[in-house]
Amino acid sequence: MSSPYGYGGHPPGPPPGVLPPPQSAPWPPSGRYGPPPQAPYPGQQYPQQQYPGQWGQQPYYGGPGQFNGFQPPKRRGGAVRVIVLAFVLLIFLAVSVAVLGSLLGTSDDNTAQPGVTGPSIVPTPTSNPQKGTAEDYLLNADIYRTGPLPEQNCTAANLGTGTLAAQKVYYQKLFTCLNDAWRPIFKELGQDKPDPGLIVFDKPVTTPCGRFEPLSGRVLAFYCYGNQVMYTDVKQMNRAFGPQHDLAYLMTIAHEYGHHVQGVTGLFYARAVYLQDHPDQQLESSRRNELQASCFGGVFSKAVEKSYPLTNRLDEFKEQSSNSFGESADTPEDERTHGLATSQGFWIQNGFNIGANKACNTFAVSADLVK
């Protein structure tokens, strides 16, 4: 049977450094998009089977009424169907990671490079997809019409030497502010979900998304949709930034919380459905998804600007946001899942400068802004 942790059976024992303990969250999610309407939208059919959110089973798309009535398109046949379903299952269980780019310089891409004062755009959809489709939801979700996050009194904790204990204290304080800032937005959208969990680890950790070792690849932190928990690698953060670069820690956890926002608001599920019918958009869609999470992180950064404080550190904020995350200009295009470092900086700063979620509709902008 399904468990609140997103897979069958009992959850594993808590990994080291739980902050706070992962909370039981209903899975599959329910909320404002149910109960089902009396009839499907024109031209749409309800699926005959609803998929449980369990490891090793088919991915969950949501029951009738999800996303204002849109349903998964009819599945493609043969090898294409296998590939598409495997990809959707992967992103359901998968890790949304903050990757460290090997970037100490800047990209030669000028389109996504912020100017001196930084970007300040409000994306506006230029297409009119069929009402109720996944594409329509990605472009016109209610989250884009919410206001600024409430200002937070959130003075940063001292990272000290970056030990597990010090990082736990830092993240615990920041995580409380993230929950307090986003909770009113979720309420405005009619969503009453448990706060996500946060695990800070310096030893191997087992999650519904897989088992992870400290210092694995370039993974700094990740969010697992299977149990709505964020995980941060203490050793990797220390190796990448050291405790003196606390703004990178702020942006990392705010980015991962951005993935939680995507899950709560339905953007994650809409994207899964969209990709089933548009597998050729996998890489670009991944970049739009990751850059949107970073933009949400920028919006949160604005909410803590005065108390963190960021007010006298904006140059450092811009430098960190544009050079610490994402991929380098020499990363092959078919491997760019998170966007160039300059694209990351563009969207973090755009969220900060606009200070509201309307800044973060990365699905509505041209491809040159999500390189």
Confidence label for 333 from pLDDT (cuts 50, 70 and 90): confident
Task: Average the pLDDT over 144-151 and give the result.
Answer: 96
Alpha-carbon dihedral 323, 327, 331, 337, rounded to 10 degrees: -170
Q: Can you tell me the mean pLDDT for 224-231? A: 95
3-state SS, 302-353, equals HHCCCCCCCCCCHHHHHHHHHHCECECCCCCHHHCCCCEHHHHHHHHHHHHH
DSSP string, 102-164: --SS--S--TT---SS-----------PPTTSHHHHHHH-GGGG--PPPP---PPPP-TT--H
pLDDT reported for residue 89 = 41
What does the alpha-carbon distance between residue 1 and residue 7 come to, in Å, rounded to a whole number?
A: 8
Predicted confidence (pLDDT) at residue 36 exceeds the cutoff of 80 = no
Q: Tens digits of per-residue pLDDT, 44-67? A: 322 222 222 222 222 222 222 223
**Residue 272 contacts residue 288 (beta carbons within 8 Å):** no
* Range with the poorest average pLDDT among 35-44, 96-105, 154-163, 333-342: 35-44
pTM of this prediction? Answer: 0.74
DSSP secondary structure, 32-51, as one string: TT-SPPSSPPTT----S-PP
Q: Evaluate the CA torsion angle 151, 152, 153, 158 in order and state its sign.
A: negative
C-alpha 249/C-alpha 21 separation (Å) is 20
> Residues 72-89: what's their mean pLDDT?
41
Query: Which residues touch 176 (CB under 8 Å, ≥6 apart)?
Result: 154
Q: Check: CB of residue 40 under 8 Å from CB of residue 7.
A: no
Residue 77, sorted as left (phi over 0), alpha (psi -120 to 50) or beta, turns out to be beta
Q: By mean pLDDT, which of 2-6, 125-129, 272-276 is the weakest?
A: 2-6
pLDDT higher than threshold 60 for residue 167: yes
| Percent of the chain topping pLDDT 90 | 64
Q: What is the mean pLDDT of residues 154-165?
A: 94
DSSP 27: S
Mean pLDDT computed over every residue of the chain: 76
Query: Does position 69 have pLDDT exceeding 60, yes or no?
Result: no
Strand, coil or helix: what is 220?
A: strand
Residues 6+ apart with CB under 8 A from 48: none
Q: Which residue has the higher pLDDT, 331 or 70?
A: 331
Question: What is the per-residue pLDDT across 105-131, written as a single tens digit (0 to 9) for each?
Answer: 333 333 334 433 689 999 999 999 999
Q: Is the CB of residue 242 less than 8 Å from the CB of residue 277? A: no
Mean pLDDT along residues 32-51 = 28
